[in-house]
Structure 1
């Protein structure tokens, strides 16, 4: 084995060891501000479906075949929630949005999509819009926030679709105000473009925007929503819009390989999430603001030279925390806190690109509602105590 191969093997073994350590620590954690089933055993996920499934759907009905029965139930429900004529289920949001944007390109005659450079297709999909769907993208703004109306009006070339990610995750789960959102949509209409919402996290955007879900979705020609990011589902997505669009989307779903024989476990988990988690999201958003304030005050009390919560007032139940450290010591401190205290306030830290700084994403949901501001401040102090001096 060559020296370089040995080095790669050693690095992989070290990474595998850290991953196993993290999974063990997460499963043993007693207190966390945000719960998810990322590393939950298969048995736990199955028990969840069996426990709550009967309240969401008649489990004596036959399983779905290629998108009928329980899948149609979910589609109809989401279309109603979003106030759209039609809805179609997809195994992934990446597929759903590629199909939506491809369909709109065919209808508008323009394959150019205007979107933010930090949006999901630009950051996380390996140039799929261009490589797979033959689309090209342009950026109305480079600011770390959604484009405003003037930036859309000033874009120097025609575009067929304006795609808005609500909230914009990579910029800190940020949202525009309702007025700003209506103005940017109107600006796209002035450019004779259609509007598509990347609503992977649209469910929890309602409190900040101050309007019901169907009114928010009603601003756009089409909307994609996810079921696992905030609703606790196993996966899956729905594309909603005009009936003619969603019927065409079903054809493209088949062409893209999304016509799956059985999807009932994923769909059942989505129905459970709509029943159980969707009504709770406003309380998560409200408590995220309490947690964010306490984190800010907690770091100030430790005497750290610089720390930032972004946005200062979270727009959803998720926000960023930035610290003047490299990611590695922050990850180690978080892992030790989970192992030694059984507490998980912070978890994965990411290098920011600016030397000596890193950030993490904080999600507040059901477990976090039990945390008081003093609980958060104490956890911050114990986290900082594990950082290098």
Structure 2
């Protein structure tokens, strides 16, 4: 049995939101379209799409927002335009930036800009990390929260100091806000207050929101219009954005409203983990509704434990796993969403005990 089928059989699933099979998801999308009289957009022109773009812009306190088929396209375009505007091609990024780790050196291969790593890889940026950079920066990119270090947030006062530093330099401040919805809950601030001071913001329509894919890029109307033209030039001009927008829009308000609940559930999970010191969490206390769990076993052993728990107990602990820095260890990312939110407390506690017991035996 493959992993997808095995996970669907489990009654206690730790990561993320419930993954609906295509037939179920498409049926829900069809019903929503019928209830809301949805018509297809045509190359980005359509009532549903443009209303949703305007809604995202309002939430972020920006003049405009535009749909983009992927965050990778949105980010490289935004930072290239920012550097062109200032005739400075250097962008400061955290060492764990998505651009470095997951975007396959696209900025280099496309000649978009040059990137400088700033700060330390295992903690969020501080204002001091930028202050020591003497270069004339075209842009600064900040990821909120930092995925690769367990969803940590730049402390609020430091974030305001960074905004002031970038503004004083005359550089463009861009947010990788793929998980901005989660960051706002972590800060306990409205979205527009977190986004204030940024010149552009990218947000995902599928990660925490649970859509099919796609992203939005928000900023000034002039900047967004220029970015939209470049999306077309770069191959992002799909004839219908409707499926992506419907999948995101139909659950958007519900998911945003649930973000504080996901964070509270993460606090519960941290409390339950205290009984199992064999499982190490990063960060040491919740900052958003995600974390990294470090295990004292190899990836191969962790995957064997996952399968055994799924087959014998109906428990699915994690999705992807990777080797960690120390030999014989591994770690995985855990996003706390609907699955854990809806799981009874005792089932979560029992599942952790079984998992920790298997790790100990391993």
Same fold (TM over 0.5): yes
Deviation at 1:279, TM superposition (A): 1.0
Q: CA contact under 8 A between 1:108 and 1:160: conserved in structure 2?
A: yes
Write the distance in 1 (CA, Å) between the matches of 2:309 and 2:197.
Answer: 44
> Bigger CA drift: 321-330 or 163-172?
321-330
Match of 1:26 in 2: 7
Cα offset for 1:37?
A: 5.5
CA RMSD of aligned residues (A): 1.7
Residue matched to 2:316:
344
Matched-pair contact (CA < 8 Å) for 2:15–2:318: no
2:212 to 227, 234, 252: 234
Q: Which residue of 2 aligns with 1:357?
A: 329
The alignment partner of 1:382 has SS state of helix
Alignment CA distance shift 1:222-1:178 (3 Å)? same
Q: Which residue pairs with 1:98 in the alignment?
A: 76
1:83 corresponding residue in structure 2 = 61
Distance (Å, rounded) in 1 between the aligned partners of 2:274 and 2:304: 21
| 2:354 pairs with 1:382 | yes
Q: Tell me the CA shift for residue 372 of structure 1.
A: 4.9
How far residue 373 of structure 1 moved from its aligned partner, in angstroms, is 4.6
Q: Is the 8 A contact 1:294 1:374 kept in 2?
A: no
Q: Shift in Å at residue 91 of structure 1?
A: 0.4
The answer to whether the 8 Å contact 2:143/2:177 transfers is: yes
Q: Displacement of 1:133 after TM fit?
A: 4.1
C-alpha contact (below 8 Å) 2:149/2:283 kept by paired residues: no
Whether 1:149 aligns to 2:127 is yes
Is residue 2:45 matched to residue 1:68?
yes
Preserved CA contact (<8 Å) 1:153 1:191 = no
Query: Per-residue displacement from partner, 1:230-257 (whole Å, max 9, x unpaired)?
Result: 0010000000001110011111011111
Q: Normalising to structure 2: TM-score of the pair?
A: 0.94
**In structure 2, C-alpha distance between the alignment counterparts of 1:78 and 1:143, rounded to whole Å:** 31
Query: Is 1:175 matched with 2:153?
Result: yes
Unpaired runs of at least 5, structure 1: 1-19
2:12 and 2:347 in contact (8 A); partners too = no
Shift of 1:52: 4.0
Residues 185-215 of structure 1: CA deviation (Å, up to 9, x unaligned):
1122222211000000000111222221011
- What TM-score does the superposition give when structure 1 sets the normalisation length? 0.88
Identify if the C-alpha distance between structure 1 residues 28 and 51 changes in structure 2 by more than 3 Å, giving closer, same or farther.
farther
Shift in Å, 1:311: 1.2
Q: Does 1:191 align with 2:172?
A: no
Higher Rg? 1
Contact 2:17 2:338 in 1 (8 A): no
The equivalent residue for 1:58 is 37
- Asked if 1 retains the 8 angstrom alpha-carbon contact of 2:16 and 2:334, the reply is no
Give the secondary-structure state (helix, strand or coil) at the position aligned to 2:358. coil
2:197 to 219, 223, 231: 219
Number of aligned residues: 360
Distance 1:54 1:178, change over 3 A: farther
In structure 2, the residue matched to 1:45 is 25
Distance in 2, matches of 1:371 and 1:46, equals: 25
Report the CA distance between 1:53 and its aligned residue. 4.3
Which stretch shifts more, 161-170 or 130-139? 130-139
Give the unaligned 5+ runs of structure 2: none
CA contact (8 A) 1:294 1:373 kept: no
**Structure 1 residues 199-278: aligned runs within 5 Å:** 199-278=177-256
